[in-house]
Chain A
């Protein structure tokens, strides 16, 4: 493997890690507030469809992004209604949302575009264009650093940079603001938050809404930046990988960045090489596909560090009377 190949693999790592990172941060806010969310997949899928559909019709990717966030927020509202207001089972609600999105996107796509459950291919302003960072072209000839700057750091879409910027932002919001303190408290001990006179329900809805917005951006990225348009089931399990990354990251923003980069790297490798020959032992591509899940199970098993979820996660809050 020469230097250029390494750069290409890393470049595709960044692009593939971005939706995972956004969805992982989405899950982070929700689960830190005590709302389990296995509906990340569905929300991304719905956002991917709506963003592609609106971008295709209007020709504006920004309108598409807004529509995608809207679709994702709508599903978040259902999740909030089920798991906060009606104190239902959050896991079951998440499963339902995943199926709702999987079904509705195809049904509606078929009705709107008659292309077998996909949207038309996005062209021009319907997609997010890569951004060339300043001086990328002129510094390209500088040895080593030039290509790294030009190929790896520059030339991504705005959403990639946004996703990376969201990591410190999430850290700051969660660990350095009053809102973040309360949000984390509501996931550990909602009764204490309630006693302090802060609304548990309000905080949890806020967390679920943030989760919806981030999933919306993740979905829009898939359909309008990574690819050009929506196809059936295009999330392809990314919501679950993000969930795995969240556990891998032990519910922390910076760890989330490294976990999603690792899983993105695995995807990039699997995409580029079918079978990897490691000195006599051939690693099949299917093993690479399964590796994020295997690693997560290992982490969950607690043999390599322990992942402890927020204590009140998954439990509806009932005020004592």
Chain B
């Protein structure tokens, strides 16, 4: 029996969880002797108070949309893909290989190939953990964690020993050719006469991320495959009884998940850095977990949560710049969001369910 109406489940619980997480974060800020209200004001003006701030907020949000969708798709098949970090790093390798392979004449030609390269490499990095889960029963969480470290070591090796241009001390690839430079939001909005900060890194990848949200929604709720994924996620035995192959669903869901995480690289590697550097993902793969949990694994929710985390990231950078609050405060907030929307979900849910039950009894 549904104790609560759907809107309460989708809106009220994440909202309460978020409020608790923010309240505790405010306590942390007070604890280190800073003013939380001033901090929030500074974050708002820094992250959304100018087109420069928006440009960074949307840039970060683009990363988080991809990694959030990756975790969300896996969640629908009841897989916990904690390997977004490694898959995104490998996606970066795919993008770098594509961008450095030929002298691309125009970004519009390079971009689809780069997207494919990122997706294939990301999916490949998810393939072995998925196979081991499907065929050998190894826990996907453990194998994807291991693959994060293996991926980091692999990229470290490639960047230091193989892909580094001769004579360069920096463990990074050479600069991509100009034909791969993606148009920024400044360039795109200028064509329709809207002024936008030129310095901010938000680029056309944001639109691709939005398109990915729509496609994931279509896949999960409007296709036969999506139905099979959700059916498997709800009950493996029921899915098997209905003729759905668990191996197939695990593989497909994880490949899609890995591909989405990998596609993040068109934003940070191709759109921003324009070369592949060490540790290019910077934890975005893990933030995807918080984003997916908060967005209740729904693409629209993921979109909103990603924007929120983009805001927190950019606002947090401003805080670190102008106050004594270190940037790691964002990691604390991220942890609290994961804790309350994920692990302590029942703590928020149980009192609310009691409340709704009481209300219903009174009505009856």
Give residues in A with beta carbon < 8 Å to B: 38, 78, 81-83, 86-93, 95-100, 102-104, 106-108, 110-111, 117, 237, 240, 243-244, 247, 284, 286-287, 289-290, 293-294, 296-297, 300-302, 309
Contacts and interface: CB of A to CB of B under 8 A. Distances in A.
Nearest to B151: A290
A100 B339 contact: yes
A301 B136 contact: yes
Contacts of B336: 96, 100
10 smallest A-B Cβ distances: which pairs?
A: A103-B331, A93-B343, A99-B335, A103-B332, A290-B153, A92-B342, A100-B335, A300-B138, A96-B339, A82-B343
B316 to A, nearest CB: 10
A96 B343 contact: yes
Given A110-B324, A237-B149, A293-B149, A38 B141 contact: yes
Contacts of A237: 149
B343 A92 contact: yes
Given A89-B343, A243-B145, A297-B132, A96 B338 contact: yes
Contact of B138 (A110, A244, A301): A301
Please classify the interface of chain A as helix (H, G, I), strand (E, B), loop, or mixed, using the class held by over half of its residues.
helix
Contact of A293 (B146, B289, B326, B329): B146
A92 B334 CA distance: 12
Contacts of A88: 342-347
Contacts, number: 154
B156 A301 contact: no
27 contacts: A38-B141, A82-B343, A83-B343, A86-B345, A86-B346, A86-B347, A88-B344, A90-B343, A92-B289, A100-B332, A100-B336, A103-B328, A103-B330, A103-B333, A103-B334, A107-B328, A110-B32, A286-B153, A286-B157, A293-B146, A293-B150, A297-B132, A297-B138, A297-B146, A301-B132, A302-B136, A309-B139
B33 interface: yes
B286 A99 contact: yes
Interface of B: 28, 31-33, 80, 82, 128, 132, 136-139, 141-143, 145-147, 149-150, 153-154, 156-157, 160-161, 286, 289, 293, 324-326, 328-336, 338-339, 342-347, 350
Contact of B335 (A97, A108, A286, A302): A97
A287 B346 contact: no
Given A107-B332, A293-B150, A294-B146, 4 more contacts: A86-B347, A93-B343, A100-B332, A247-B142
Given A38-B141, A88-B342, A284-B161, A111 B32 contact: yes
A301 B139 CA distance: 10
A290 B150 contact: yes
Contacts of B142: 243-244, 247, 296, 300
A240 B145 contact: yes
Nearest to A98: B335
B208 to A, nearest CB: 27
Nearest to A288: B153
Contacts of B331: 99, 102-103, 106
Contacts of A86: 343-347, 350
Contact of A300 (B28, B139, B150, B346): B139
B348 to A, nearest CB: 9
* Interface-central residue, A111, A237, A247, A286, by most chain B CB under 10 Å: A286
